[in-house]
Amino acid sequence: MEKAVLVLEDGTYYTGKPLGKRGETCGEVVFNTCMTGYQEILTDPSYKGQIVTMTYPLIGNYGLNIKDSESPRIQAEGFIVKEACEYFSGSGALFSLDDYLEKEGVTGLVGVDTRALTKHIRIHGSMFGIISSVSGNVENLLQKLREDMKKSKCLVSLVSTKKIIHSPGKGKRVVVIDFGCKENIIRSLKSFEMDIYTVPYDTNVKKIMDIDPVGIMLSNGPGDPADLKVSIENIKILAGSKPIWGICLGHQLLGLALGGTTYKLKFGHHGGNHAVKNLEENKCRITSQNHNYALSSELPDDMIVSEINVNDGTVEGICHLRHNIKAVQYHPEACPGPADSDHFFSDFAASI
C-alpha cells in the first residue's frame, strides 16, 4: 500500500496515503473548518502558498465541477483530509477529489488524523510543512522544507492578473485592484451592472485614474500585507481622491495605508461560521473568513472599528469618518449565512 507523510517545521510528522499527484509540496499548514465548499477553498487565490487541512472528516461526497471554482486553477499548495470520497453524487460533478487534484497537479494526503493535526496547530500556531508521497525520510524532508522556507516569495504576484481586464456593464465604472481576487467578488459587482476594470496589484495611480472610476475595490489575496509596500503607497494616494473599499487583504492594506498596523494571528481564521458583530447596529452576522493576518484596533483618529470578531475580538471592519472609505476582514462574497453579508455590495453600489 502506498504511503505518504506530512512533516512540519518543528519535526512533528503525520502519515497517511497519497491523494492527487504523487510528489512533494511545501507550504504553510492551516486548517479550515468548513463542511462544504472544498472546491471554492482549493481555488481561492488567498490560499496560495498554503497547505489546507480540512477539519470536517469526509470531503468529496458531492464531487467537483467547473462552475464553482474561484479562479482558473487550484491555488492551494497541498490538501489534507481524513477521508476522501471515491464515489460522488453532486449534480453536474465531473471529478472525484483525487482525480481533480491529479488533473491539477496538486499533491495531497488522505488518512491523516486531522483532529490531532488541527489541535497541534491550535496549540503551537500555523507552521510550514512538506507533504511527500515519494519519500518517507523525515530528516531529509525536514531539510528540504527548511531550504524552501528560506526562499523569498511574493505570493500576490503569482495570483494577480497580468493585464487589465474589462468586464463591461451598463452601470457605474469601478476598478478592482487584484491582489488575488475571487471570481465571486466580480460576480457580486456584476449583479449591480457595474462596468468593471480589474487591474494588476502593482498598477500605478496614473493608470487607475486614467480609467476614471467612480469607486475602487481592493480584493482579497495571500500573504503578509506589510510586504506590499508599493501597493500601500498607491492606496494612500487613491484613498484621498476616490471612494475605496476593501475585502480581506484589501482591508488590511487599506488599514496600513491610512496609518494602522497589522500582526499575524496564531493560527488564523479559515472557515464559514465566524460570528461578527456590527458595533453600530449592535447586530451579529455569520461570515466566511480566510486570513492569517489582522489589523490592529489602534487606528488613526479619523478611522473607527465598525465590526469585531465575536470569538476573539479582532478587527473585522473599519470605516473613515470623513471619506467614503470602508473595508471588511471577512468575505462577503462567499455566501455566509448564506446571505448575511450581501449588504456589503449593495452598500458599496449605493455609496458611489
What is the distance, to the nearest Å, from the Cα of residue 343 to the centroid of all Cα atoms in its chain?
Answer: 20
Angle between helices 229-239 and 249-257 (to 10 degrees): 70
Give the model's pLDDT for residue 183.
97
Instruction: Report whether pLDDT(342) > 90.
Output: no
Q: Residue 320: what pLDDT? A: 96
Catalytic annotation present for 333: yes
Q: How many CA atoms lie within 13 Å of 217's alpha carbon, on the beta-carbon side?
A: 34
307 is catalytic: no
pTM: 0.96
Of these residues, 24, 104, 248, 274, which one is catalytic? Answer: 248
- Beta-bridge mates of residue 15: 5
Averaged pLDDT score across all residues of the chain: 96
Rounded average pLDDT over 6-11: 98
42 band by pLDDT with thresholds 50, 70 and 90: very high
pLDDT, position 340 = 87
Q: With a cut of 80, say whether residue 290 has pLDDT above it.
A: yes
Q: What's the longest Cα–Cα distance across the chain?
A: 64
> pLDDT tier at 336 (50, 70, 90 boundaries)?
confident
pLDDT on residue 255: 97
Q: What is the mean pLDDT of residues 165-172?
A: 97
Q: What pLDDT does residue 167 have? A: 97
Catalytic residue among 70, 102, 307, 333: 333
pLDDT tens-digit readout, 215-247:
999 999 999 999 999 999 999 999 989 999 999
178-226 tens-digit pLDDT: 999 999 999 999 999 999 999 999 999 999 999 999 999 999 999 999 9
Q: Domains in the chain and their CATH numbers?
A: 4-151 (3.50.30.20), 156-351 (3.40.50.880)
Nearest partner of 31 among 120, 159, 162, 107, judged by Cα: 120
Question: Each residue of 126-165: pLDDT tens digit?
Answer: 999 999 999 999 999 999 999 999 998 899 999 999 999 9
Q: Is 331 a catalytic residue?
A: yes
Handedness of CA 106, 335, 283, 346 (dihedral sign): positive
Task: Place 1 in a pLDDT band, splitting at 50, 70 and 90.
Answer: low
Alpha helical stretches, state H, the chain: 38-42, 97-104, 114-124, 138-149, 155-159, 183-190, 205-211, 229-239, 249-257, 343-351
